[in-house]
């Protein structure tokens, strides 16, 4: 930090909310969102239908993925970001999503880390 610069909370806020980003990513992969876009369900309506979601919930996950840069709009169509297209489309030979779910069972435990650390012995 530059001398005299006033610290802010931006970095800390981002860390405190990082679970939202990973939750969005994992939900999108689990739903097959990126795969369906790659297969041609590239509008909000088509994608919500392909995923079996009610339109408001389809819009929610789409907006979240747009905000994270996982997908983008091109000419009124949804497209995957290049890294997403390569690694998170199940038809890709580079499909790497299964490793993301390896630690999913640990999520709730991480939310209780402070409680575990207060106990004697290892968490």
DSSP state of 54: -
Q: Which residue has the tokens 């994608």?
A: 47
| Reported CATH class of domain 18-118 | mainly alpha
Tell me, what's the pLDDT at 112? 87
Can you give the pLDDT at residue 123? 64
Reference 46, options 35, 57, 58, 56; nearest CA is: 58
Residue ranges per domain, the chain?
18-118
The confidence score (pLDDT) of residue 111 equals 86
Write out the chain's pLDDT in tens, 123 residues.
567 788 999 999 999 999 999 999 999 999 999 999 999 999 999 999 999 999 999 999 999 999 999 999 999 999 999 999 999 999 999 999 998 888 888 888 888 888 988 999 876
Q: What is the DSSP string of 70-122?
A: SEEEETTEEEE-HHHHHHS-TTSTT--GGGGGGGGGGHHHHHTHHHHHHSSS-
């Amino acid at each position: 930090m530059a001398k005299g610069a006033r610290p802010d909370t931006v970095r800390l806020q981002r860390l405190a909310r990082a679970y939202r980003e990973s939750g969005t990513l994992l939900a999108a992969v689990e739903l097959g969102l990126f795969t369906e876009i790659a297969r041609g369900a590239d509008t909000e309506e088509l994608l919500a239908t392909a995923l079996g979601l009610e339109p408001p919930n389809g819009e929610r996950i789409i907006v979240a993925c747009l905000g994270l840069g996982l997908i983008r709009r091109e000419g009124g169509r949804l497209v995957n970001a290049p890294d997403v297209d390569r690694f998170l489309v199940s038809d890709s030979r580079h499909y790497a999503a299964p490793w993301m779910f390896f630690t999913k069972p640990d999520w709730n435990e991480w939310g209780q880390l402070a409680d575990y650390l207060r106990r004697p012995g290892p968490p």
